[in-house]
Structure 1
Amino acid sequence: MRIPALGRNWAQPVYQGTNPEQLRAGLGHFDGTEAAGQIGNFVLAGHRSGIPSPPLRNIDSITPGASITVSTPQRITYTYTVTSISTVDPADVAVTAQVPGQPSATPTKAMLTLVTCWPADGHSKRVVVEAPLASARGGEL
């Protein structure tokens, strides 16, 4: 994954699961959420502090309109465009629903949701970045 708003050379691996070992190594893909580029919500979590070089330390640098790209082993690159950044209660798991905030809705578009702690050195809230899929290109040769 690449997020230019976090630095020109910012890139992080995405691991399946959100256990401590995955989150220490990079970003974690929430089990039960969609894969990159698929209709529904592709939900990722990452640390903002508490480990050496936390991937989402500077999440406050992400603003609406920022691009996020995810490249897959199949050589497909998905580009998402950030539409909202919010702060929610840690118990607000509806942000990880197939349609963020609408747990019973049926998805009609592909979304990316990033989740991390707020404030930077705490965990009383969660920062949530939402970005619908803007484009896809490439594929296996």
Structure 2
Amino acid sequence: MPGRLIEDRADPVETEERPAASDAPDGSVRPRASIVGIAGELLVTAGVLILLFLGWQLWWNDAIMASQQSDAASDLSTEWVEQARAQQADAPLPAAEGFGDPVVDTTAYGNGEAFAVMYVPRFGEGSQRGIAEGIGLDVLNSYQLGVGHYPDTQMPGEVGNFAIASHRSAYGGGMHEIEQLQLGDGIFIQTRDGWYTYRFRDFEYVTPDTVDVLAPVPHRPDLAPADRIITLTSCNPLYSTAERIVAYGVLESWQPVSAGPPDEIAAQVAAWGE
């Protein structure tokens, strides 16, 4: 009897040392599942899904929105050109110096209403974007727009500050390449009335609450403006809202829509309607 008790005690010990020999046909040991292990696998899976979503949001969806925004801007530009051609009289257009002061649109546009197209060659092919009144998400995150006009700032061609905003990344990234601007680069704004050619001058980096960059004379709201400038604002650095990158330009010239786009971009604009 003592011998059996010893055997009975020994068998369980041997089984614990080799617990899963019979679990697999080849005699290998299979690990036992645990709550901690399952939870870990679920967390890893969730992490992968989150990364995939972020990738879709920041790259794939961004590319789709960028394409749709540029197509919508092209359509709007082409519509204005066709309207101008239909209304144009047989009389020849005056020379460029005869266009006079820039026409300034005084229409009171509602929030989200498109009134202009921005095209910056430095931003690359397909960079044209529609500009609408307002800087809310309904404008900046729109599949049809992408650039918003700060209410109470000036309009294209007007003395003062025509200030606009767009995302730097995601939702079409209308100003994704803003930091690549170089002195003298063209910033072209088209409206129903004509083309306004601004030339880039310089950058500034500010905190999100530095709103005096939107003043008619940036940082000097007490001064009366004498120049016609444009201010582009976007988040900085990429994928962050910690600060704002601000790009300033000065109006160089303007011409009516019926005169066609400036020679510098005529070929690219012609391709929009194809």
TM-score (norm 1): 0.93
Return the structure number with greater strand share. 1
Return the structure number with greater helix share. 2
Query: Which residue number corresponds to residue 199 of structure 2?
Result: 81
CA contact (8 A) 1:38 1:110 kept: yes
**Post-superposition CA distance 1:13-37 (Å, at most 9, x none):** 0000001111113100000001100
The alignment status of 1:9 with 2:126, answered yes or no, reads yes
The Cα shift of 1:8 comes to 3.5
SS of corresponding position for 2:119: coil
Distance 1:68 1:27 in 2: 14
Distance 2:241 2:181 in 1: 19
**Post-superposition CA distance 1:75-103 (Å, at most 9, x none):** x1000001111111111111100011111
The Cα shift of 1:109 comes to 1.2
Q: Which amino acid in 1 is paired with 2:159?
A: I
The Cα shift of 1:50 comes to 3.5
**Post-superposition CA distance 1:62-86 (Å, at most 9, x none):** 1221110001012x10000011111
The Cα shift of 1:139 comes to 5.0
CA contact (8 A) 1:64 1:85 kept: no
Map 1:97-136; keep pairs closer than 5 Å: 97-136=215-254
CA contact (8 A) 2:230 2:251 kept: yes
Larger of the two Rg values belongs to structure: 2
**Post-superposition CA distance 1:4-63 (Å, at most 9, x none):** 000043200000000111111310000000110000100000001242x21111212212
Distance 1:139 1:119 in 2: 36
Q: Which amino acid in 2 is paired with 1:2?
A: Y
The alignment status of 1:57 with 2:176, answered yes or no, reads yes
Moved over 6 A (4+): none
Q: Which of 1 and 2 has higher RCO (CA within 8 Å, sep 6+)?
A: 1
TM-score (norm 2): 0.49
CA contact (8 A) 1:16 1:28 kept: yes
Q: Which amino acid in 1 is paired with 2:126?
A: N
Distance 2:128 2:135 in 1: 18
The alignment status of 1:69 with 2:188, answered yes or no, reads yes
2:155 paired residue among 23, 35, 47:
35
